Structure 1
Amino acid sequence: MGQENKNQTWVSEFILLGLSRDWGIQVSLFVLILAMYLVTIVGNALMLLLIRLDSRLHTPMYFFLSVLSFVDLCYANSIAPQMLAHLLSAPKSIPFPSCVFQLYTSLALGGSEFFLLGAMAYDRYVAVCCPLHYTVLMHKGLCLGLAAGCLVAGFMNSLMETIITFRLPLCHNVINHFACETLAVLRLACVDISFNKVMVAISGFLVIMIPCSLVLFSYVRIVTAILHIRSTQGRSKAFGTCASHLTVVCMCFGATIFTYLGPQSASSVEEEKMVALFYAVVAPMLNPLIYSLRNKEVMAALQKVLEKFRKRITGKMGI
């Protein structure tokens, strides 16, 4: 115990090793991540705008999608700006309070997204299996309650995991990651972290498996209902309402399961970075693209907005 106290140091800031120490690679990553970040901001903001402006999109499905877009916007802003700044700077330092805040917000928003995907699966289940009662079952109060519950669950889980992570005495301040991530910070501890890793694993398991179970239940019922539809056109339409959501579910759940519940190995630290980069930068960018490009209603709303914009511009120019 005395040796542990002797080696323990007070940490006022952390140094992030980032993705690479090669300057050329860092510049290339900066350009690539900046482009993806801008697409994320524009894509999710545009999705929110379209849902707000087009009355045809004022349905439970698009309400949940708007909440998902808002969460993706916040999630991208919790990590990407700091990552971009660090790619062109040295040393890559982050103050202790900022590190705590980044870990808390990123965990909270990531957890909220998983719960939202579960709520969206339930919405698709009601739409396909109970179409005649859809508007009655998925009323405004239930939608608001589900969305609020998803956010509360995500933020409460993050609070617990953040406390578990930063209550430990730290021996050094160099984080082998591009952001303040739970497992990367735990590796700095002066004491045995077996219990903390178990608690983090349980936390991650619950955040993943609770919504994942709801998704599986919903899609088993959805597939069963679709198989009972006689017409090919009816089956195609029913599946089309779920395809985008199912694509996002597989992408998000798959990446996180690989990171937190997969087998640990010597190369797991670098693998964690790559998966975390995918989830922090790529996933928030792909979500609005998947939902817009595969959705005729969203594309129609986009065309409507662009047409109004074109008329205003031509009107002002007197054309």
Structure 2
Amino acid sequence: MQRTYALTRKFKLIWSFRVLYAMLLPGLVYYAVYRYSPMFGAIIAFKNYNIMLGVFDSPWADPWYAHFKTFYDSSYFFPLLRNTFLISIYKLLFGMIPGILLATLLSEVRLRFFKRFVQTVTYLPHFLSWIIIYGIAAAFLSEADGLINLWVKGLGGDAISFLTSTAWFRSILVASDVWKDIGWTAIIYLAAITSIDPTLYEAARMDGAGRMRMIWHVTFPGIRHVIILLLILKLGQILDAGFDQIYIMYNVQVYEVADIIDTWVFRTGLEELNFSLAAAVGLFKSVVGFALVITANRIARKWGEGVW
């Protein structure tokens, strides 16, 4: 009887929020169809998949880890892992800090027109495709007729091969990624800053704190939970490194420093129709990303800022 009463009460509670659940439904359906149901396809990582036979009739790999071993035994494994980690970490470090600083500076601006103008200008690149951004980069950095190299040659120097140089290419990748997403990232931090209790700033002002002191002791601690949340989420994607950007911008001359796991899989797995190898590497990335998220969250929980 008591259990029936509890279930009835729970049902009434859910029914009272039926509009909100209805709004949530499209998102749940999206993730169920496009995120969770494709996970069934991970089974081909353990099979010698043949597109004509299908998933069920394709023979199992012998041994079951054969495709994982193929990837590990490849002479490219450690260079690919190194490039992927380095590019991801560079993007993580140099991508988060500028967004935080821009959001902090915008929060201190009192002229609303100027604030909105800067926000618009900085977040518009987020909506540009990497093809357009590569075109912009080529217009500035091309060795033959790029604007910067025209200035360099005009001053009597030699042209710099920015886009084909192993010394410059990673910097170009990171800089273009920061430029593309700095405004979008700043919006997230700016929203977190606006949610900080204004009385904390008033109390700091009464204690004689200046603007820099208030930023350091009120603003930054106030958005710490958002910083940690985004950091944990980005750690889960640390083996992605930005396939779209790299595939569009890289070339044979910079494979040594720019070839990542995803680009190698695209060339050796998908172009050669080796879907089992591609699935095995994708599963490997997912497991590593999951482990990093769990580890980062446990560390964050010790500071009282865990996601769950």
Quickly name the TM-score band, shorter chain normalised: under 0.3
> Higher Cα Rg: structure 1 or 2?
2
Q: TM-score, normalised by structure 2?
A: 0.28
